[in-house]
Structure 1
Amino acid sequence: MAGTQAPLVAFEGVQKTYDGETIVVKDLNLDIEKGEFLTMLGPSGSGKTTSLMMLAGFENPTHGDIRLGGRSLKDTPPHKRDIGMVFQNYALFPHMTVEENVAFPLKVRKASKSEQVDRARKALDMVQLGGLGKRRPGQLSGGQQQRVALARALVFEPQIVLMDEPLGALDKQLREHMQLEIKHIHESLGVTVVYVTHDQSEALTMSDRIAVFNDGIIQQLDSPSGLYESPQNSFVAHFIGENNILNGTVESIDGGECAVRLENGERIIAQAVNVDGPGSRTSLSFRPERVEIEDVEDHHDNALKARVAETIYMGDHVRIRMNVAGNDDFMVKMRFRSNRRPPAAGEEMYVSFAPKDCLALDPVAA
């Protein structure tokens, strides 16, 4: 999201180490715009949760600064940062009613009793829990408890809401439902959300922008479609969505395209996204749904010999695992059609793809 005004949150050269040797977050520079939904996405140990905890005030940067609304947070304790927080384990008080849990941030801020009750009930209505305010958290389902935690984070109208793996304890169907609920609440309120997850489908569903973390560094910061369609390195291509990899050597580069010789000798044309000069190694990235299966070789610029290993029926599509250029797990997604027979194991065919759908990236281990 591009904005002409100053960002709501700014990480400025932030580093974090716990032992003075291992740097968990490395020189983080990140602006978060007012009203956006930004997700910090990455595997365990990538630095995303530590970055969130520094913004919340539960951890302090070793170097650098974090600004909220233009002001440094260095000397601001967590409870004075005007930030709401939603945790994976809900962190509700079991001895309080649902309404009392939601009202607790207002009580801490010395709001009147009538204001606490009024605003807590409105917050519960917002998360579709109106009428359950007198129950205890233990009488609610996991999804309902997470809604209570969300209402509590929003009730005092903070500048920003932080969410740390908030849906991790829920089953798949409920998790997907809550993703849309949170997205709709964000859209209706316009509150700024910073969300941490290791689940890439969750990030793609909910976010305006996604910061992909690995090894303490943001590998790419982009919109969901930008990350999926145009990954800038092999880590992002692997981590976002399903991906096929073939390794090869760059033969030549012409403008935005390059010719690559695969390890089995076959030659293809790809987008030169993140490669060095001729003679350098590269890993080619293909999305399974962008690959076509052909009986003959002469359909496209790029066609590779393939042997079908297995066909898996998935309802609306068929997943076909193939051996392609030495990769035994090359996957193709073919839309299921009742009048088209999926290929059988052992069949020899060709896979083809347009150069724009094949990205030449930095090399990864075979």
Structure 2
Amino acid sequence: MDQIIGSSPTFLDMIDQVSRAAPLDRPMLVIGERGTGKEMIAARLHFLSNRWENTYQKLNCAALTTTLLESELFGYEQGAFTGARGQRAGRFEAADQGTLFLDEIGTMSMAAQEKLLRVIEYGEFERVGGTETIQVNVRVVAATNIDLPSAADSGEFRHDLLDRLAFDVITVPPLRERPEDIPVLANHFGAAMASELEWLHFPGFTNTAMEAMENYAWPGNIRELKNVVERAIYQAWDGEEPINNIIFDPFDSPFRPAAKNSAPTNLSATVSTDQASHTEALLPTVPFDYRAEVEALERRLLDHALKTTRYNKRLAAKNMGLGYDQLRHLIKKYQLSC
């Protein structure tokens, strides 16, 4: 099992929930943004359970078409489809008495969801193209980065399957909600990369570099942090001095090709009469409280700038033409959560 690193209260609360849920022989749902480590949490659920000595199977549902996914899950009989030259067992048979981890379960078709529900409910299924009912004892752990209740409400996911999977839901916190863990993780990944490059020692990071990482929003979470740290280490060449140069966006270059259908740079030239009328319609009716309106507008602008940068405060400040300390003052003034 891969090492899970963290000591922040939010992270430790989640780990405690995993430890309590692991011994229970029930389906589990792991929710979290991309790069938060959902697969590692699923593995922990298996290896801390009574099934730890048995098979642990993993399958990414998003990587396969509906037909291939069903064949991979349930197996198939000879002649079930073109190219099916022999009988093949699926992942459920391979995971009998063990655990099956289904990643990106939100992408599964409704037909596959119906078959999955039957296996979870009754522990039985038929191979694709077969009639024999096969019995298995498999614990299902599923993961996704989408809001499954909303998907179920919109008809994209079965409510009954969601009810069965959600015996308990483990939500993995994003890295921006566990800032205390950033230095620990950065040094862990840095030391590992320095060892891979056969450096005599890992010199660590400068205060400036660490502060930059602590203030970054990490939309790609731990996976992105690992990439950023490893990139910084290999670009430092010899490792004699603490690492100072942190590149968050490797695509940032003056020679980067322009995006297709990019928005025009001169926005003022695109404003039509209708748009100008719409802007006037947004103005408050007279009389109005000037200070309250200004504060409301300032709050909306701050919220918009932070959301569009995924709460990267330094980038938001740059986009607004403010200093970093000025932005922090405004965030504190309006008690914005970020």
Asked if these proteins are the same fold (TM beyond 0.5), I'd say: no
Instruction: Give the helix-richer structure, 1 or 2.
Output: 2
Structure 1 or 2: more strand by fraction: 1
Higher relative contact order structure (alpha carbons within 8 Å, sequence separation ≥ 6): 2
